[in-house]
Chain A
Amino acid sequence: MNAPSLWILLPMAMGIFLLFINNQRILSLLGGSLAVILALIAQFVPIEAALKVASFSLKIDSGLLILGRSLVIPPTEGSLLALIYGAAALWFFGAEAAKTAPRMVPLGFMIIALMVAAIAVQPFLYAALFIEMAILLAIPMLTSIHRPPGRGVVRFLIYQTLAMPFILLAGWLLAGVEASPGDLALTAQSATMLGMGFAFLLAIFPLYSWIPLLIEENSPYIVGFLLWILPTITIIFGAGFLDRYSWLRSSPQLVIALRYLGLLMVVTGGAFAAFQRHLGRIMAYGSIAETGFSLLALSLDLRLGIPILFLLIPARALGLAVWSLSLTIIKANVENMRFGAARGILRALPLAGAGMVVATLSTGAFPLLAGFPSRLALWEGLSGDSISAALWMAVGIVGLLTSAFRSLAVISMADEFTDWTRRESPTQMTMLGLGMVGLFLLGLFPQSVQFLIANLPLMFDHLGR
């Protein structure tokens, strides 16, 4: 047995198999359970080490050869797989509550398999091809065959597809830079290509216009899933470039570019969120700010930045899951997600309303919530480098917190004498309750995920050491 078969080919096959099941509950339970099993195997069964079970000896090889190239999952990536599949289980279990399981679980499995392949493929720059395939699979997940696609989906497809050529060509140019490091023109060309590729892929300002459109037009839960998996893997892929090319890693211009872009994302995300009058668009700008935090982490001294980058991942996964599930439930109960239509909805959907506010607060680094420890560490690191950068980050955070309080004010503004009711189903209440408890636990005990993320920097040869 080998690791790529287990964590790439099996989930892919499972995704295809699950396409034939239509029952929400069965899909959700089956998909979630399989993801949990894959996460547990990744965390507890070592790769490339013989494991003796009674008289049997089991060894998971790390590589698989395909068409002359290889997919390699080294032992150091076990925790990352556990994190990815663990978070996937969370999304799949929640899919029943969001009533999106038939689209979410099968295609979600295939997308995750492709994203894992993107991390595993050697040479690593071929990852762009797997990411593009995942983008193509995301389209039927986002749209229904019975409803015309909106502008957001089309723009998502165009922007994400345009990233692939840039990254592949940048990879080739970077090899040239490695061979002749003194060639400044080639260095500038390759850096520009790489920057354009990642700007499209990570939806960096001003290329993020599709995110708010996508949330307005589609199920927030499905969009939330994509806003979790795509940027998370892309950031790790991007960090791989830093790890591979020493001139890139040591470039002061890159640090400045990452810092300014990160701040731009955090500040614009926070500011736009603060002025939105649409609950979905607030989540869109929140996720944009999240990507900004990741870029800021990469702009720090990488011995500090890489652990912070990994600390951001669980908080982002859980925060977006709770936020998007809450919004999906709210969307199903109101005419639209504008403030006017969602006014007073807290009385009818107390847990969904609370979940949305708590998740927004977590993204805005509210103390004792999941997002707080990572953002605090980031803020501290940033202030050590530049006080003005730390102040700008604060501006973005204030914007996010403002949007949380505005949302809270709107959803709790019910007419006088309106009774409290509960329109959420038991499954929805359970998932939202567990999610909110998780957000508090991650905030109160951030060390509880250390067993997962402590060794993650080892997946890089030069970063985070």
Chain B
Amino acid sequence: MELTFAWIAVVLMVITSAGLLFVRDWRWSIILLAAQYLGMFVLTLQHWPIGMASVKVVAGWMSAAILGMTRSGLSSEDSADENVLPRGWLFQLFAAATVVLIVAVVTPGVDTIMADAGFPVTNGGLLLIGMGLLHLGITARIMHVAIGLMTVLSGFEILYSTVEGSVLVAALLAVINLGLALVGAYLLIASTPQETESA
């Protein structure tokens, strides 16, 4: 049963991480990010007790909320792009498919290195790392950079939870997630100076 849930979480993360690449409406980005943290919670639960795994999802949702609230207070950025597929979407789709393929191929090897963490856990972690890196490689927009970094860190946290169960590390990683969201929010506000001055 646990394994089934874990694979469902992996499928959810394929959808959310790929969706984050294509979606241009910030509201959908935040929703997908929040759903991604839910998948991360399920995978972390495979190795951590529910109390500690909850820290991940709570910190993740708080981070998504910080980004969402900041973005909602700003006027529409790149409004021409919103609600439509981005330019070069076919290339992005191809790149995302390549990442999924690479992850599927390397999962057994990495799973062996990660002390047999379990295929879904390793697969989910690697998928988020790969998709996050792809995201960082194709965008320069602040919000997407923040989301890309948070995606990479989520993938890493899934993998790291299989080998490290320290409360301090969980707390520090939560702080870093929140810090990343706050930095993203700060840079978002800074990148729209007119709105800041008129507010």
A→B interface (CB under 8 Å): 66-69, 126, 129-130, 132-133, 136-137, 139-140, 143-149, 151, 153-154, 157-158, 161-162, 164-165, 168-169, 172-173, 186, 189
Contacts and interface: CB of A to CB of B under 8 A. Distances in A.
A172 B164 contact: yes
Interface stretch (B26-34, B42-50, B88-96, B189-197): B189-197
B164 to A, nearest CB: 7
Contacts of B180: 136, 161
Contacts of A143: 186-187, 190
B12 interface: no
A139 B180 CA distance: 10
Contacts of B164: 168, 172
B136 A158 contact: yes
A148 B193 contact: yes
Interface string B159-199: 11001101111011101100110110011011111001100
B66 interface: no
Interface string B74-96: 00000000000000000000000
Minimum-distance CB pairs A-B, first 9: A165-B156, A67-B168, A136-B179, A129-B172, A69-B168, A148-B191, A67-B167, A139-B183, A172-B163
A158 B149 CA distance: 7
A154 B145 contact: yes
B65 interface: no
B40 interface: no
Given A68-B168, A146-B190, A168 B113 contact: no
B152 interface: yes
7 contacts: A126-B169, A136-B180, A139-B186, A140-B186, A154-B145, A158-B136, A161-B180
Given A158-B136, A165-B153, A133 B172 contact: yes
Nearest to A175: B163
Contact of A129 (B136, B159, B173, B193): B173
Interface of B: 113, 129, 136, 140, 142, 145, 148-149, 152-153, 156, 159-160, 163-164, 166-169, 171-173, 175-176, 179-180, 182-183, 186-187, 189-193, 196-197
Given A143-B186, A168-B164, 18 more contacts: A67-B167, A69-B168, A126-B166, A126-B168, A126-B169, A129-B169, A129-B176, A133-B175, A133-B179, A144-B190, A145-B189, A146-B190, A146-B197, A148-B190, A154-B145, A158-B145, A158-B148, A158-B149
B169 A132 contact: no
A154 to B, nearest CB: 6
A161 B146 CA distance: 11
Contacts of B189: 145
Contact of B145 (A126, A146, A157): A157
Given A153-B187, A158-B149, A132 B156 contact: no
A254 B144 CA distance: 37
Contacts of B175: 133
A157 B149 contact: yes
A183 to B, nearest CB: 11
A144 B196 CA distance: 12
Nearest to B170: A67
Contact of A154 (B142, B172, B182): B142
Given A132-B176, A151-B140, A173-B113, A66 B156 contact: no
A435 to B, nearest CB: 31
Nearest to B182: A136
Nearest to B180: A136
Nearest to A138: B183
B30 to A, nearest CB: 20
B77 to A, nearest CB: 11
A12 to B, nearest CB: 13
Contacts of B171: 67
Contacts of B173: 129
A130 B164 CA distance: 17
Contacts of B187: 139, 143, 149, 153-154
Nearest to A123: B166
B193 A66 contact: no
Contacts of B191: 148-149
Nearest to A143: B190
Contacts of A164: 156, 176
Contacts of A153: 187
A148 B191 CA distance: 4
A59 B182 CA distance: 39
Given A158-B136, A161-B149, A68 B179 contact: no
A66 B170 CA distance: 13
Nearest to B136: A158
